[in-house]
Amino acid sequence: MPVAQIVEIFSGIQGEGPLAGVRQVFVRVAGCNLDCDYCDTPGAHGWSEPAEIELRAGTAEFRREANPISAEAVSNEVERLAREVPVHSVAWTGGEPLWSAGFLSEAMARLRAAGLRQFLETNGTLPEELSRVASLVDYLSADIKLPSLSRGVRDLRACERFFEVARRAGLAGCAKLVFAAGTTREEVESAARLAARAGYELVLQPVTAVPGGPAPPSARRVLEAQEEALRIAPGVRVIPQMHTVLGLR
């Protein structure tokens, strides 16, 4: 039975992208292949702590469980929370959940069999791993990571291959670009072209300020970036991280 390092499992509100506001059970998988300047996610690198598992949906009260945890055990916890409060889907997030593709495939299959839809949040740089789970994904939220903000990204070629896998699999979803005050017009346009070629709506997400991280864009720059993208891609929305506004996980 595949296992993975799990940071947390809880019932909450999706805070990003076109599905912002829906209720989901979140499974945060530890580990990531990138190092983004704006990352504020626990467990992205070097995670060795026990997992936090919500005792009852929406209470923010947790018990701790030793890692790693099997796909079966994680699935059981997700099903329990989904029974307590009805959810739109199960959100697999990280870190980078596709770094644990074998575990993800087993857990997703179990939860799909239980009637739960699968929502995958990913950095969009692991096309081969996506191909292993694509048939199990109901909604894909894939980042377009800029080399200027993400160490480990030299160009957009891996992202291009990733979206080609998603397109061939017919996956519903969106492309997301986190951008900062210093993000250039050329970077926004490159992201818009990639999203347009893949047939995905582009979500522009102003970066959330973190200590030592890049500065968020001004209101004027947000409007400029959307205009730059709209000249290339037909669907472009600006959606900030809503869960940070609400003070949620």
In this prediction, residue 245 carries a pLDDT of 72
Q: Is residue 39 part of a domain?
A: yes
Q: Is residue 11 part of a domain?
A: yes
What span, in angstroms and rounded, lies between the C-alpha atoms of 56 and 76? 13
C-beta separation of 129 from 98 below 8 A: yes
What span, in angstroms and rounded, lies between the C-alpha atoms of 123 and 163? 11
pLDDT at 43 exceeding the cut of 70: no
* Exposure string over 81-117, b if 16+ CB within 10 A, otherwise e: bbeeeebbbbbbbbbbbbbbbebbbbbbbbbbeeebe
Q: Please state, rounded to an integer, the average pLDDT across all residues of the chain.
A: 95
- Alpha-carbon torsion 71, 72, 75, 76, what sign? negative
In this prediction, residue 244 carries a pLDDT of 77
Q: How many domains are contained in the chain?
A: 1
Residue 139 belongs to domain with CATH number = 3.20.20.70
Q: Is residue 198 part of a domain?
A: no
Q: Is residue 233 part of a domain?
A: no
Q: Is residue 87 part of a domain?
A: yes
pLDDT at 50 exceeding the cut of 90: yes
Q: Is residue 150 part of a domain?
A: yes
Q: How wide is the angle at C-alpha 223 spanned by C-alphas 217 and 228, nearest 5°? A: 100
Start-to-end CA distance of the chain, whole Å, equals 29
Residue range of the domain that includes 19: 3-177
Q: What is the tens place of the pLDDT at every residue in 170-195?
A: 999 999 999 999 999 999 999 999 99
pLDDT at 131 exceeding the cut of 90: yes
Q: Is residue 240 part of a domain?
A: no
Q: Is residue 62 part of a domain?
A: yes
pTM of the predicted model, to two decimals? 0.95
